[in-house]
Amino acid sequence: MDQDEGLTSVDNIVTQFNTYEDFLDSQITTVDLYYLEDESLARQLVELGYRGTGEILKREDFEARKAAIEIARLAERTQKKTLTSAGKDLQDSFLKALAVREEDNRNGKVSSVIFIRDKNSYGQEVSGYIDYADRLKTEDFEVYFNGKKRLLPRPTDLSFYNWDSQIAVCNSSPNYQVIDDNPNGLLFKYKKDRKILNVDPKDHPGDNSTRMSIQTDLYTQAVIFDHISRRKT
């Protein structure tokens, strides 16, 4: 039996029985009880492998796998709860694009960088690059998916530029290192696999990366770069 088959067999047992004692009881026959006359002794013999009608499973393996399955179940339920885009009637293509990418950015399968150019609440034109996964962790996106606020670049994002005041700021994030000394423009190095994301529209975005321009009524310009990490874990 290979490892995957073994885990499947254990999972079947763990999900079928609430406790290890229930599993042991299922292995005890009426003949065992007749001769042993002691249920506790019968359980011990099954646990040691001397009695039983099926597979031998150690108590620690049963309890460890039971705990792992429960942790996975809770994590999945938590993940579903944290999808702030779930159940929203999204009309704009930009919000739909964010919703499609939300789960993968939360679980690390994809790392998206969002470029936005538009006017802020003071009428000033601003632009910048946003680490979507980082913002999801540090901010409640409910207000954006509900349409109560618009997502805009901030001075704390990967890059921020105010075209009126000519203030320019760059910041590395937990996911990306900003390379701002490139003569052809900004580059972002994804920290997990050290691949370079090139945001220059005239160049290819880089290995395992894509560039998508979004037609939206919310912004003057919106572009989403998606990077898939190929690093082996």
Separation of alpha carbons 179 and 200, rounded Å: 13
The pLDDT of residue 67: 85
The pLDDT of residue 232: 52
Cβ atoms of 27 and 46 closer than 8 Å: yes
Could you say which residues of the chain have pLDDT below 70?
A: 1-10, 23-39, 41-56, 75-82, 231-233
pTM: 0.66
Single-letter amino acid, residue 34: Y
The pLDDT of residue 3: 47
Cβ atoms of 112 and 105 closer than 8 Å: yes
The pLDDT of residue 196: 96
Separation of alpha carbons 201 and 184, rounded Å: 11
The pLDDT of residue 1: 44
The pLDDT of residue 2: 47
The pLDDT of residue 15: 76
Q: How many residues does the chain have?
A: 233
pLDDT tens-place string over residues 40-58: 766 666 566 555 556 667 7
Separation of alpha carbons 23 and 157, rounded Å: 54
